[in-house]
């Protein structure tokens, strides 16, 4: 029982100092990722940058209507590359929650965020100032989920009662 408790999340907080995590990235994004890693220093910083950057945007257009349905994974035919890193626990938790909402795996979410970042194609002269600029807006972690979910009262009610979310779409 103790082993199970060590690896589960409790009340929205993920375990600190967790081991390395793996991301699978399609081969066609490898060169772009290398460029971004040179700018950001490492994958942990770039992952944080993507989470903060895309919290500010409406992601509905980037993901089809998959909310609360079965989890979609990447196709194995994409020649996926395995990348290991130690993410910040809060960033990983937010990615898991966003992935759950959109009905995609964390790897697919990361790939879509990298692909969207590549498509935007704007140069970032200094990634540190870009992150500081995004974080100055003081977006709390749960704010992101309120902006992508439509019924805020229902969410608050369910969060306060500790209930699971369900989306009734037919």
* DSSP letter string, 66-120: -TTSPPB---GGG-EEEEEE---HHHHHHHHHHHHHHTB-HHHHHHHHHHHHHHH
State the sign of the Cα–Cα–Cα–Cα dihedral 31, 35, 40, 46: negative
Contact call for residues 149 and 155 (beta carbons, < 8 A): yes
Given a cut of 50, the residues of the chain with pLDDT beneath it are: 1-14, 60, 139-152, 164-170
CB 21 within 8 A of CB 85: yes
Return left, alpha or beta for 68; rule: phi > 0 is left, psi -120 to 50 is alpha, else beta.
left
- At residue 134, the pLDDT reads 62
Spatial distance between the Cα atoms of 87 and 154, rounded to a whole number of angstroms: 31
Closest C-alpha to 104, from 141, 76, 148, 67: 67
Q: What pLDDT is recorded for position 35?
A: 92
First to last CA, the chain: 39
Residue pLDDT, tens place only, 108-120 = 889 888 888 887 7
pLDDT recorded at residue 166: 46
pLDDT of residue 169: 36
Instruction: Answer whether 0.75 is exceeded by the pTM.
Output: no
Rounded CA-CA distance 165/31 in Å is: 38
pLDDT at 11: 44
């Amino acid at each position: 029982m103790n082993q199970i408790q060590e690896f589960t999340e409790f009340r929205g907080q993920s375990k600190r100092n967790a081991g390395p995590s793996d991301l699978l990235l399609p081969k066609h994004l490898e060169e772009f990722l290398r460029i971004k890693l040179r700018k950001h220093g490492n994958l942990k910083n770039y992952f944080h940058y993507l989470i903060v950057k895309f919290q500010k945007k409406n992601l509905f257009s980037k993901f089809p209507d998959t909310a609360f349905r079965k989890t979609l994974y990447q196709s194995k035919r994409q020649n996926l590359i395995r990348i290991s890193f130690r993410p910040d626990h809060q960033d990983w938790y937010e990615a898991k929650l966003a992935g759950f909402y959109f009905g995609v795996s964390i790897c697919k979410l990361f790939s879509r965020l990298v692909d969207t970042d590549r498509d935007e194609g704007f140069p970032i002269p200094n990634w540190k100032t870009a992150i500081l600029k995004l974080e100055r807006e003081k977006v709390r972690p749960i704010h992101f989920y309120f902006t992508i979910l439509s019924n805020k009262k229902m969410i608050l009610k369910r969060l306060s009662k500790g209930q699971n979310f369900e989306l009734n779409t037919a």
